[in-house]
């Protein structure tokens, strides 16, 4: 198994949460009310799973490995991905500011930008960046990355991915979004869940 397969399967969980966030935004606008407790659940997922769990595997491990095998961090696809991670963080700050002032329109604009940007980002990683990574370094590097992923998760008592997988599953139930079948995330299931 390639280490990037784990990241692609994490993307599937993130995409499900984005579908739910989209429904939350529509519901908030329709009811002209922002439920702060639910917004906090989305912030927890985005900041602690999409960013701290997933993006840190990319920024601290995958991109560094790609750089070791000759890909620039300052220009080209890795630089674009890093820039988009920053854009996402700014959208979340915008969503938080809007929530504080109960500004539904502001929340909606930032959330919609975030959802569109991240879906596009994930598409580019799955279809361009990860294949590029797999072509740029040898199998031994992929195996090392996978071991590093395990180490990162072990530092968190191996519960982080499981907790956020369950959180996304519950959100999907609430917003009537079909959740992932085990067969869609076979590597994540056998390695981390």
What is the Cα–Cα distance from 8 to 11, expressed in whole angstroms? 5
Q: How far is the CB of 10 from Fe ion (least distance, A)?
A: 7
Task: Give backbone dihedrals phi and psi of 67, rounded to 5 degrees, phi first.
Answer: -65, -40
**Nearer to Fe ion by C-beta: 125 or 153?**
125
**Nearer to Fe ion by C-beta: 81 or 172?**
81
Query: Which spans in 62-138 are helix H?
Result: 63-68, 77-100, 104-124, 130-136
Binding status of residue 153 toward Fe ion by CB under 5 A: no
Q: How far is the CB of 33 from Fe ion (least distance, A)?
A: 32
Q: How far is the CB of 91 from Fe ion (least distance, A)?
A: 14
Contact call for residues 7 and 130 (beta carbons, < 8 A): yes
| Closest among 2, 26, 5, 16 to 181, alpha carbons compared | 16
Q: DSSP string of 39-74? A: HHHHHHIIIIIIIIIIIHHIIIIIHHHHHHTT--SS
Contact call for residues 88 and 118 (beta carbons, < 8 A): yes
**Nearer to Fe ion by C-beta: 34 or 65?**
65
Write each residue from 60 to 89 as x if it is in contact with Fe ion (CB under 5 A), else as -, in one continuous string. Answer: ---------------------x--------
**Nearer to Fe ion by C-beta: 92 or 98?**
92
Q: How far is the CB of 20 from Fe ion (least distance, A)?
A: 18
**Nearer to Fe ion by C-beta: 34 or 55?**
55
**Tokens 């361009």 belong to which residue?**
128
Of residues 115-144, those binding Fe ion (CB under 5 A): 125
Of residues 36-65, those binding Fe ion (CB under 5 A): 58
The residues binding Fe ion (CB under 5 A) are 58, 81, 125
């Amino acid at each position: 198994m390639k280490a990037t397969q784990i990241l692609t399967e994490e993307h599937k969980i993130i995409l499900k949460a984005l579908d739910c966030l989209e429904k939350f935004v529509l519901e908030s606008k329709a009811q002209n009310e922002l439920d702060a407790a639910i917004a906090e659940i989305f912030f927890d997922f985005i900041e602690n799973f999409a960013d701290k769990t997933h993006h840190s595997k990319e920024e601290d491990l995958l991109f560094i490995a790609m750089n070791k095998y000759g890909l620039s961090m300052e220009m080209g696809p890795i630089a674009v991905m890093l820039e988009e991670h920053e854009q996402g963080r700014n959208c979340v700050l915008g969503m938080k500011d809007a929530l504080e002032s109960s500004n539904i329109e502001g929340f909606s604009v930032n959330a919609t930008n975030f959802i569109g940007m991240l879906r596009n980002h994930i598409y580019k990683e799955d279809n361009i960046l990860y294949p590029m990574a797999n072509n740029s370094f040898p199998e031994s590097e992929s195996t090392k990355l996978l071991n590093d992923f395990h180490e990162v998760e072990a530092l968190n008592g191996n519960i982080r991915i499981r907790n956020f997988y369950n959180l996304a599953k519950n959100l999907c139930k609430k917003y009537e979004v079909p959740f992932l079948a085990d067969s869609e995330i076979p590597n994540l299931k056998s390695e981390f869940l």
